[in-house]
Copies of this chain bind each other. A is one copy, B any other.
């Protein structure tokens, strides 16, 4: 790369899988762990000339990595999401947090700008916001000890339209940074006005009860791994809409922001969750687990705060929430997220049935159960039981979501016998589940496992049950070809 005039450069890596070491002309300027959150690296005061940026990437498993482990999905290596480069001055707006508020029949919002002071100088600055043609002065700010300053306030937006799945109205929010009275930086975010609540055993969007009709989705594709180009994201969103979904769960990690943008634009409701799947208590005891979770939680919530489509934050899918030791970690993480963002309800997906110990900590109780696949239970009876388990152990009065259910169907394997593994059997299982859940008013949402087939880590243990080194429970296959279950989903979700 060529630099023509002296400047500081900020590189934003949207996703490097899973551990990155960044060098600018040989100078080590950043490290990061976790494939699924962004981070930045700054090269200060770069003189004109040609430079080389080196990204060393490691996707190996090992003691260091507590969240990327051999698992029921694949940890592809490499730079899986875009990289942005921008010239920065001594101060720049790092992010803006927009939190809509519905009060007395009108929209307000709390807006906070976070300004980064490169070199931690004590310069004063001020911020002005612009939204829907109007300007809002947020006042001036001074840097804190960590080189960051925050400035903002609560503003009224009379006449603003609400964001909803039916009409996903978005506004451009522009923050302008003034230093010494001169415009010095700006940042444009896209926001929407909506509030989400979890009251009276149901979930409300802008005060009205909603039911999530969704799928779980892995960012996985046989042709690009997890390095999705925009075309393929949009194609996925098209398929979800065509299937009748109004929701998606970003199982099991924060997603590419471009996909969240698509959800914002199309009114697809999002359950976003931190990065963890099926970790045992032993795995949670990994000495790196705590900080790696703290980091991914913080980065997820800060980076994706402004997406109106995200209605739920979740943590630790199917981990050891049935143990007291595990419960401590669930508690810690839920509190961390609640502190970062009090505007969204929290949950976690549990498969512990009547052994679950953490329902009291969450706002919504969520069950991963696979009636008809891992056992022969009846979906209706099982979710009635689940409601009872929840009520008996801290979930009484809380909304309930069936966060995972489904069965394997190998694309192209159709057989009149309808044996396990055929597309027919998968369709039968999906039908039995959807039929039960859509008929029960205490269920506030359902997420089919899963949108598309995904690659898994190869193994000879329980992964032996993953024929072809894939989790084949997708409603579409890895190439996004609809299986027979697709029409079943349409039938229930488009009602």
Contacts and interface: CB of A to CB of B under 8 A. Distances in A.
Interface of A: 2, 188, 222-224, 227, 229-232, 235, 373-376, 408, 410, 412-417, 419-422, 455, 458, 460, 464-465, 467-470, 472, 479-482
Contacts of A458: 419-420
B468 A421 contact: yes
Contacts of A419: 455, 458, 468-469
B374 A460 contact: yes
B230 A420 contact: no
13 contacts: A222-B415, A222-B479, A223-B235, A223-B479, A224-B229, A224-B231, A229-B231, A374-B464, A415-B481, A419-B455, A419-B458, A465-B467, A467-B467
B231 A227 contact: yes
Nearest to A469: B419
Given A229-B229, A417-B469, A479-B479, 7 more contacts: A224-B229, A373-B460, A408-B467, A419-B468, A420-B458, A465-B465, A465-B467
Main secondary structure on A side of the interface with B: loop
Given A223-B480, A229-B230, A415-B481, A420 B376 contact: no
A421 B467 contact: yes
A467 B375 CA distance: 15
Q: How many copies does the complex hold?
A: 4
Contacts of A467: 408, 410, 421, 465, 467-468, 472
Nearest to A422: B468
A239 to B, nearest CB: 9
Contact of A231 (B223, B373, B374): B223
A227 to B, nearest CB: 6
Contacts of A413: 468
Q: Which of A230, A375, A464 has the most CB of B within 10 A?
A: A464
A69 to B, nearest CB: 18
A419 B232 CA distance: 21
Contacts of A416: 482
Contacts of A421: 467-470
A415 B478 CA distance: 12
A414 B482 contact: yes
A219 to B, nearest CB: 13
